[in-house]
Amino acid sequence: MGLTLRLRGTSVVRGVRILALLLALAGPMFAAWGQDAADAVDVAAATEEAPTPEAPAIDSGDTAWLLTSTALVLFMTIPGLSLFYGGLVRSKNVLSVLMQCFAITALVTLLWTIYGYSVAFDTTGMEDGTFNLNSLVGGFAHIFLKGVTPDAVTLTIPLSVFVCFQLTFAIITPALIIGAFAERMKFSAVLVFTALWFTFVYAPICHMVWSGPGSLMGSLWGVLDFAGGTVVHINAGIAALVAALLIGKRKGYPTTPMPPHNMTMTVTGAGMLWVGWFGFNAGSAVAANGSAGMAMLVTQIATACAALIWMFIEWFKHGKPSALGTATGAVAGLVAITPASGTVGPMGAIVIGLASGAICFLGATSLKRGLGYDDSLDAFGVHGIGGLVGALLTGIFASTSLGGQVEIDIVTQFIQQLKGSVVTIVYCGVLSFIILKLIDVTIGLRVDEAQETQGLDISLHEEAGYNI
Amino acid sequence: MGLTLRLRGTSVVRGVRILALLLALAGPMFAAWGQDAADAVDVAAATEEAPTPEAPAIDSGDTAWLLTSTALVLFMTIPGLSLFYGGLVRSKNVLSVLMQCFAITALVTLLWTIYGYSVAFDTTGMEDGTFNLNSLVGGFAHIFLKGVTPDAVTLTIPLSVFVCFQLTFAIITPALIIGAFAERMKFSAVLVFTALWFTFVYAPICHMVWSGPGSLMGSLWGVLDFAGGTVVHINAGIAALVAALLIGKRKGYPTTPMPPHNMTMTVTGAGMLWVGWFGFNAGSAVAANGSAGMAMLVTQIATACAALIWMFIEWFKHGKPSALGTATGAVAGLVAITPASGTVGPMGAIVIGLASGAICFLGATSLKRGLGYDDSLDAFGVHGIGGLVGALLTGIFASTSLGGQVEIDIVTQFIQQLKGSVVTIVYCGVLSFIILKLIDVTIGLRVDEAQETQGLDISLHEEAGYNI
Amino acid sequence: MGLTLRLRGTSVVRGVRILALLLALAGPMFAAWGQDAADAVDVAAATEEAPTPEAPAIDSGDTAWLLTSTALVLFMTIPGLSLFYGGLVRSKNVLSVLMQCFAITALVTLLWTIYGYSVAFDTTGMEDGTFNLNSLVGGFAHIFLKGVTPDAVTLTIPLSVFVCFQLTFAIITPALIIGAFAERMKFSAVLVFTALWFTFVYAPICHMVWSGPGSLMGSLWGVLDFAGGTVVHINAGIAALVAALLIGKRKGYPTTPMPPHNMTMTVTGAGMLWVGWFGFNAGSAVAANGSAGMAMLVTQIATACAALIWMFIEWFKHGKPSALGTATGAVAGLVAITPASGTVGPMGAIVIGLASGAICFLGATSLKRGLGYDDSLDAFGVHGIGGLVGALLTGIFASTSLGGQVEIDIVTQFIQQLKGSVVTIVYCGVLSFIILKLIDVTIGLRVDEAQETQGLDISLHEEAGYNI
Amino acid sequence: MRKVEAIIKPFKLEDVKEAIAAVGVQGLTVSEVKGFGRQKGHKELYRGAEYVVEFLPKVKLEVVLSDDKVRSVVDAIVKAAGTGNIGDGKIFISPVEEAIRIRTGESGDIALS
Amino acid sequence: MRKVEAIIKPFKLEDVKEAIAAVGVQGLTVSEVKGFGRQKGHKELYRGAEYVVEFLPKVKLEVVLSDDKVRSVVDAIVKAAGTGNIGDGKIFISPVEEAIRIRTGESGDIALS
Amino acid sequence: MRKVEAIIKPFKLEDVKEAIAAVGVQGLTVSEVKGFGRQKGHKELYRGAEYVVEFLPKVKLEVVLSDDKVRSVVDAIVKAAGTGNIGDGKIFISPVEEAIRIRTGESGDIALS
Ligand SMILES: Nc1ncnc2c1ncn2[C@@H]1O[C@H](COP(=O)(O)OP(=O)(O)O)[C@@H](O)[C@H]1O
Ligand SMILES: Nc1ncnc2c1ncn2[C@@H]1O[C@H](COP(=O)(O)OP(=O)(O)O)[C@@H](O)[C@H]1O
Ligand SMILES: Nc1ncnc2c1ncn2[C@@H]1O[C@H](COP(=O)(O)OP(=O)(O)O)[C@@H](O)[C@H]1O
């Protein structure tokens, strides 16, 4: 009883501390609220000078597709990814995974609204061909979504749709990382990590790649990343690796087998990821046109090839093809085709699919076992490695000479892709390390052994996944 | 054996009685069939004088988005809501919940086709600024979907799409109510209740709010209800409360704990509801434009805020944040932003989200325990209360002075919102009571104690949810 | 130990043999690769002479809807159908079903890319009004998706979208068949069957119905098949019947009850199928217009009627309405309305729904029990019979005189529908038989008794569905 | 020392547990079982085909206790688990020679307290 | 009075139940268990890593009966449950002192009939 | 012949199984049970309402063995299953009269080897 109370007391204290930390983070932003409210009348006017100078007209078809794509990408995280990951853990931890995906969705949405969108996409101070601070990170011109009014337009769609679409990318990226530290990280640590990593890693990298003229990687270096190979997958994968190394192995790993507790969830989630990815990749055309169609087509092809190759490798190596292997292969293919989806042709897709399936197989098996870290659900093995394979092969197969859609010199482009990847790896690696260390020494990263044994569902959330 | 036969006999008799009741209800409508078939040739002509006088052109983008939205809103009920609710009951009743959602979907579709659409949306006899009978309810000009031809157009979309889109709202509303009487209502009673409630409550309220110029609440009073705070959520919530009070508590409630039997289903369903709600709210713009985009954006923001606030309240109050709490908070936010989604801005969304999360938390906990009714899955606590919070706050945050999109006087509008809500509460409350009482004295509302103990799956449907 | 090794050895050998077979099949196609790569530069040029001579403009709204529809139809297979089927088998076989759906998705995608699309839709050599070889099957002009570039257009959408949309139909058709031989077919046999059946049955039938002017059934005979009653459902249903007869009953059937192991999966899957079918049917309008809207509307109506009628028949016959029955009824309605969805009106939809629900009920119960075959998940009973009901009734209710949209002579059209169905039944029946026999005598169709007893999950895939 | 095993209806578990605790027994072990007896199973439907599920869900309680408590525990179970309907279940009593508490290694009646 | 416990292969449950019923025993209780014995488990795959599942699913039957029926029940089980393969299972016989029918309070052999 | 029954914490199963195997016992049967004892259950949350789950997941091991092995098996279990914390579980020893191997029909100690 006393014990319970004390524990609870501690949790409350923790809870308060977490909130404080989150608020401290968001604090300065709140200052802007009053001002923003005051400015509300100018908002309509402000829109005129927004990201789209010539205020082009909305195309309802493009808008329809982007609205749909937004729904599809959110669907990838909840319920898609949460089912895929949730099925892979032991039943005592299933809710912790679902909860993390859900809470990350909510938290990132709030942060995106307050300042995230601005930090990622504000173009104030950017100039085509010029490197300056704003090539790396956006300003605060759009905090609290200032300027995002019903009439604001970007490209051929309402700005509100663009903001929402991009938000779903910002949600799924930290959600992918949880695969690395599943079954042992504190929930409070997950929230703080998400907030900090989103702020200091995701938003800047996103800005560097996608914010337009003057951005470091996308514009100055010409890195091709159609739908997020660098921004989403390499980024999440590297953070996952760092997290897996820092937090350490699960108790019992690798001697105790920890088979997936519910493979039907995992295969269901994989299917949802596949379907949702159509929004991710084809939506990245930001239009309902031939580019979107091609992106969908090559996504389908690469995914199929990766699933098949993983399945056959398992079949040859172990004598049996497994559902988990096939589903994992599909995800590897989806990851790898992501940066390439707007620029390669069907044949490039086949090669990227086969390559990523085979290489990620090694990543999730030999490499992991060889190096001995516990990347529980292979967030690095699939997203990190698959993202890298995709980013690099994009530099090759985007070339019109290989059925792609861009007139590039393969060698030059390959080097640019490599440069983009390395910068992302280094930046994300270092920052992720600092953030995780910081959390570790303050509130602590990992639950205690008793909690880990009991399972996070009961110990952190006082709920059981199943009472069947 | 004898017992079995007798029971079965009874069931057959019941079955027949139910069908008879349903037919009796639909009976008069069938008379129109012949006539309608005869009129079939005139249909094309009839369309000219249909709801859209100047026969504007179809916009393919708007149509694409509304087709998608229709799919999304159906997705909210099956499988979304059915998973959300199904996971919350005990495993012996899971199929009864899934079955009710499924059967309601089918039944309402048929009734909508026969007369529902007409009663809800027929504008015959309506005049802008004039109150008459048709301000309250539609006529029978469109029974059997007369006039709904491939060429008929409304706004910028085919009339068929509008009919289908609105149907999905008519489906989910009664499906929400089942949360109140889950685990103890007869299946036959659920069907009859659905048929009567849809006819005498949903269709008129829908007409009063959304049928256009001359409608009582929407047009004459100027109640703002973009996507159904009044029509769907207050309406369902009040019916749920009345049903919970009338049918009584589940055996063992509240002394026996009745924890959710499968939280993974519930969290999955919550994710699907969130995604599907994009169709619900952004689809209510009936176009793929800035209004739809803004609706999606504020939906996302309010939902996130409500989920977070519920999570943190639990964390402070109980020492642990739960997945069910977070998911329920999200639904509360979705509910509350619904009426507001077309008129408020991001800041309004934040406030509505926080308010609804906090107030629904009280509704589903203190209020329910205080008053002692057994609203099993918190249909009233979340939809009734969340709907009310949303309806009222819409009257405030829709104002351009608070970042909204409408030039309103806040006090006036707030009173209008209150008026609309009160009328809905009273009308729905009284009618729901009458309908339920009527069913109780005829075929009976509740299963007997043995059936409740055995579980509805076996006793009513002769099926088991799981044989794992 | 020795036993294990031997078994495994055998599996490896099998694996190699399968791949060899698959490659042998695909082999000749690979020859084209080099040539295709060489031609890559001409592709842009080639597009000009592609299936759409006057190169009409893309409509972004139509494109948006088709992109969405593609996602919806893929969603029908993974996770929709795989959940629907997966829940119906015993828990020891659940993964085998999910795995088969997933692997079929991947395999058909690859084959479609290599030659399938070309064999199904290449119009080289076709002439309106003329019967020749190309009325039956397409040529190889589009192998490796030659000509499918970002700029290629068909109707009002990018060709890439059309290719992808049609691919999802080619995926779900063989996936439907697995219901007949679930719980006992070798995985290797499933793959080889899929490859051969897709090549020699699906692609030609698809070509005969949908490839345009000069095609045997669609163009020369005027068979109405809007969304695949013949191509998808009769086709899959007949193959299923042949497979059920050839492979024999499951061990223990029908004496041992084999109840669904997880009805929540099945009902969830049914809901997903319903939602996804909107893409299937309304997407088949290949535009976001009134035809699409009407297709969605009648799909909804017929499905509801079929679900209700099945439910009431069970209620009368057995005293209880079951969730599985209601869900199965819905699927029967979806199947039957498929060929009719672009041509019938609401009243036709009601009749088709009621008829298919009632007749498929007989198919899945009396007929199956009477004839004694073990169509495990009623692939024939629902898809074969429902498809036939739909194909024939389309010939009646498409008539404008019955509220439909086509000026037809009912008798003539009915005979045409019958002709189309009979040809499909005979062609598919004979070919399916040959393919299955061939597999049986080479690698064998069926697992051995020990494997069947142990369950396919462990014996073929070395995985367990659940470790809860 | 005796073991009292009771097969009861699942929804009676809570009541029985409380009745046993009330007579001063500290521990018990519960498992989910399926019972076959006079009480007949229910029918289930599978796509229009009916079949009978013969095994009914039951709960098995196992309590090991000192001989002097057997009578009162059995009485408590009979009272708490009875509904008067067929299928209420059975109690079986059998000898146990020794009990050991793992935590401490204590054995005999003391291990049960 | 004796308790006959049998650990058998799951798919033999139906046969064994019928064999037992055939020799005139009215009731039995069944539970799902996992067995570890000579029969070796199967391998499972987890993303390319193989591990062995050592515990195999088995079914445990418990029948309490009067002493005179023990022989025939044991014979019935052996016949019905045997496949001749390793892992067919075991039968254990142990003493039971008393049986009580909860519904009626009857005890002794009469509680079993 | 004796039956040794042990109720242990689930995560100790692997260790205990190995300890038992180490002292030369070939077979055992395991079931999932729920325990009620001194160790208190955990709280759960249900939409802001707290309730206590009193039954804790435990694993029950049953091993039937010849009398001479009882001591060493009990010792092995105590050693392997102990954590020193409340809730470690109990061991019960009871008499078994006969064991039969279904596959061969062998009975007595030989059926256990
Ligand atoms: N001889 C027996 N051995 C073991 N378990 C038994 C025996 N007889 C009955 N049971 C168990 O007791 C339960 C109730 O028995 P049943 O005959 O249905 O009703 P009642 O206890 O009222 O006579 C059965 O479901 C079964 O689990
Ligand atoms: N000594 C034992 N005590 C309890 N259960 C046992 C014992 N030996 C075997 N079992 C049970 O019997 C099952 C079958 O035993 P096993 O040695 O695999 O084959 P067989 O019965 O053919 O010798 C085991 O899986 C286990 O559940
Ligand atoms: N008298 C008993 N009869 C049967 N099982 C018991 C008995 N006492 C305890 N158990 C089982 O042993 C488990 C552990 O007992 P508990 O009192 O919690 O801790 P400890 O063994 O450390 O004293 C319980 O959960 C229960 O399953």
Residue A23 buriedness (CB in 10 A; 0-12 / 13-18 / 19+):
exposed
- pLDDT band (50, 70, 90) for residue A41: very low
Least-confidence region, from A34-48, B108-122, F9-23? A34-48
Percent of chain C predicted with pLDDT > 90: 86
User: Is there a contact between E102 and D84 if contact means CB atoms under 8 Å apart?
Assistant: no
Within an 8 Å CB–CB cutoff, is residue E27 touching chain D? yes
Tell me: the pLDDT tens digits for A249-292? 999 998 888 999 999 999 999 999 999 999 999 999 999 999 99
The closest of E73, E71, E68 to E16, measured between CA atoms, is E73
Q: Which residues of A315-350 are buried (b: 16+ CB within 10 A; e: fewer)?
A: bebbbbbbbbbbbbbbbbbbbbbbbbbbbbbbbbbb
Contacts of B292 (CB under 8 A, 6+ apart): A63, A67, A158, A161, B65, B282, B283, B285
Domain of D20: which CATH number?
3.30.70.120
Alpha-carbon dihedral sign for residues A196, A197, A198, A202 = positive
Mean pLDDT over all residues of chain C? 90
Token pair for residue C275? Answer: 């939602």
E12 Cβ closer than 6 Å to some ligand 2 atom: no
Of B259, B317, B378, the CB nearest to F44: B259
Q: Do E94 and F99 touch (CB under 8 A)?
A: no
For D82-103, the pLDDT digits (tens) are: 998 899 999 999 999 999 999 9
User: What is the structure's pLDDT at B121?
Assistant: 98
State which residue of chain B sits closest to A99, comparing Cα positions. Answer: B323
| pLDDT at residue A460, rounded to an integer | 97
Please provide the DSSP assignment of A65-85 as one string: HHHHHHHHHHHIIIIIIHHHH
Q: Which two tokens stand for residue C124?
A: 């080289």
Is A2 an interface residue toward E (CB < 8 Å)? no
A370-400, pLDDT tens digit by residue? 999 999 999 999 999 999 999 999 999 999 9
- For residue F11, list chain A residues with Cβ-Cβ distance below 8 A: 453
What average pLDDT does range A177-194 have in this prediction?
98
CA of B15 to the centre of ligand 1 (A): 35
Q: Which of F44, F47, F52, F58 to mutate to test the interface with A (most CBs of A within 10 A)?
A: F44
What structural domains does chain B harbor?
66-125+158-461 (1.10.3430.10)
Measured between beta carbons, which residues in chain D are less than 8 angstroms from residue E112? 90
Task: Report the pLDDT value the prediction gives residue F94, as an integer from 0 to 100.
Answer: 97
The number of beta carbons lying within 10 Å of the beta carbon of residue F81 is 24
Q: What is the pLDDT of residue F47?
A: 82
Residue A373 backbone dihedrals phi, psi, to 5 degrees: -80, 165
Measured between beta carbons, the chain B residues lying within 8 angstroms of A145 are 297, 345-346
Distance of alpha carbon C126 from alpha carbon C275, whole angstroms: 36
| Calpha distance C224→C415 (Å, rounded) | 11
- ipTM (interface predicted TM): 0.92
* Number of folded domains that form chain D: 1
D112 CA closest ligand 3 atom index: 1
Ligand 2 within 6 A of CB of F63: yes
DSSP of D66-94: -GGGHHHHHHHHHHHH--SSTT-EEEEEE
Subunits in contact with chain C (3 or more CB pairs closer than 8 Å): A, B, D, E
pLDDT tens by residue, C335-367: 999 999 999 999 999 999 999 999 999 999 889
Question: What per-residue confidence (pLDDT) applies to C22?
Answer: 54
pLDDT of res. B11? 54
On chain F, the residues whose CB falls within 8 A of the CB of E91 are: 98-100, 102
- Tell me if the bond preceding A174 is cis, omega within 30° of 0: no
Q: Which residue has the tokens 């990408």?
A: A73
- Ligand 3 contacts CB of residue F9 (under 6 A): no
Q: For E51, name the nearest residue in chain A, comparing CA atoms only.
A: A257
Reduce the secondary structure of C367-380 to three states and give it as a string: HHHHHCCCCCCCHH
Residues forming a β-bridge with A362: none
Atom 21 of ligand 1: nearest residue by CA position = D89
CB E113 within 8 A of CB E66: no
Among F111, F70, F68, smallest CA distance to F91 is for: F70
Q: Which of B279-288, B323-332, D41-50, D70-79 has the lowest mean pLDDT?
A: D41-50
Task: Give the pLDDT of residue A14.
Answer: 59
pLDDT for res B47? 38
Residue ranges making up the domain that contains F67:
2-112
Take residue C30 and report the two structure tokens written for it: 């690979």
What's the pLDDT score for residue A6?
37
Q: State whether residue B327 sits within 8 Å of chain A by CB.
A: yes
pLDDT for C256: 86
Atom of ligand 1 at shortest distance to CA of D86? 22
| A292 and chain C in contact, CB less than 8 A | yes
Strands D56-65 and D89-95: unpaired
Instruction: Name the minimum distance, in Å, from the CA of D45 to any CA of chain B.
Output: 6
Q: What are phi and psi of D98, to 5 degrees?
A: -155, 150
Query: Which residues on neighbouring strands pair with residue E91, listed in sequence order?
Result: E6, F100
Nearest by CB to B325, which of F45, F51, F53? F45
Instruction: For an interface test with B, give the residue of C70, C74, C320 to mutate (most B CBs within 10 A).
Output: C320
User: What counts of helices (H) and strands (E) characterise chain F?
Assistant: 2, 7
Residue owning tokens 């949908």: C210
Number of Cβ atoms within 10 Å of the Cβ of C60: 27
E46 → closest Cβ in A317, A324, A361: A324
Please indicate whether residue F81, judged by its CB atom, sits closer than 6 Å to ligand 3: no
Are F31 and E31 within 8 A, CB to CB?
yes
C359 vs C260, C332, C425, CA distance in Å?
22, 9, 18
Per DSSP bridges, beta strands E49-53 and D89-95 are unpaired
Q: How confident is the model at residue C102 (pLDDT cuts 50, 70, 90)?
A: very high
Neighbours of A223 (CB within 10 A): 27
The backbone region for B316, taken as left when phi is positive above 0, alpha when psi lies in -120 to 50, beta otherwise, is alpha
- Of all protein residues, the one whose alpha carbon is nearest to atom 20 of ligand 3 is F87
CB A193, CB A100: distance < 8 Å: no
DSSP state of E98: E
The crossing angle, in degrees rounded to 10, of helices A187-197 and A94-111 is 30
How open is the CA angle A106-A108-A114, to the nearest 5 degrees? 105
Q: Is B223 helix (H, G, I), strand (E, B) or coil?
A: coil
pLDDT at A37: 36
Beta bridge partners of E28: D36
Q: Do D53 and B464 touch (CB under 8 A)?
A: yes
Query: How close does chain E come to F42, measured CA to CA in Å?
Result: 26
How many angstroms separate the CA atoms of B239 and A74, rounded? 32
- Chain A residues whose CB is inside 8 A of the E48 CB are 314, 317-318, 325, 361, 364-366
Q: Are C273 and C334 in contact (CB under 8 A)?
A: yes
Q: Which residues line ligand 1 (CB under 6 A)?
A: D 7, 35-39, 56, 58, 86-90; E 27-29, 62-65, 101, 103, 112
| Cβ within 8 Å of residue A309, ≥6 positions away | A329, A353, A354, A357, A358, A361
3-state DSSP helix/strand/coil % of chain D, to nearest 5: 30, 40, 30
CB of B453 less than 8 A from some CB of D: yes
Does B19 sit within 8 Å of C288, measured CB to CB?
no
Express each pLDDT in A388-442 by its tens digit.
Answer: 999 999 999 999 999 999 999 999 999 999 999 999 999 999 999 999 999 999 9
Average pLDDT in the E94-111 region?
A: 94
Residue A15: pLDDT band by 50, 70, 90 thresholds?
low
Position A118: which residue type? S
Answer whether E48 sits within 8 Å of A260, measured CB to CB: no
Q: Which residues of chain B have pLDDT under 70?
A: 1-55
The CA-based dihedral angle spanning residues C77, C83, C87, C93, taken in that order and rounded to the nearest 10 degrees: 70
Cβ pair B418, B225 in contact under 8 A = no
End-to-end CA distance of chain F: 12
Residue nearest to atom 9 of ligand 2 (CA): F27
pLDDT tens digits for range E27-78: 999 999 999 998 888 888 888 778 888 889 999 999 999 999 999 999 999 9
**Interacting residues of A284 by C-beta distance below 8 A, sequence separation 6+:** A226, A227, A228, A295, A341, A342
Distances (CA, A) of B23 to B27, B174, D40: 5, 19, 37
Chains with ≥3 Cβ pairs under 8 A against E? Answer: A, C, D, F
Give the pLDDT confidence score for residue C362 in this predicted structure. Answer: 94
Please tell me whether residue E71 adopts helix, strand or coil conformation: helix
Write the pLDDT tens digit of every residue in A344-358.
999 999 999 999 999
Q: Is the Cβ–Cβ distance between C332 and C357 less than 8 Å? A: yes
Measure B461 CA to ligand 1 centroid, in angstroms: 26
For residue F112 and ligand 2, the question of a CB distance below 6 A is answered with yes
E16 lines ligand 2 (CB under 6 A): no
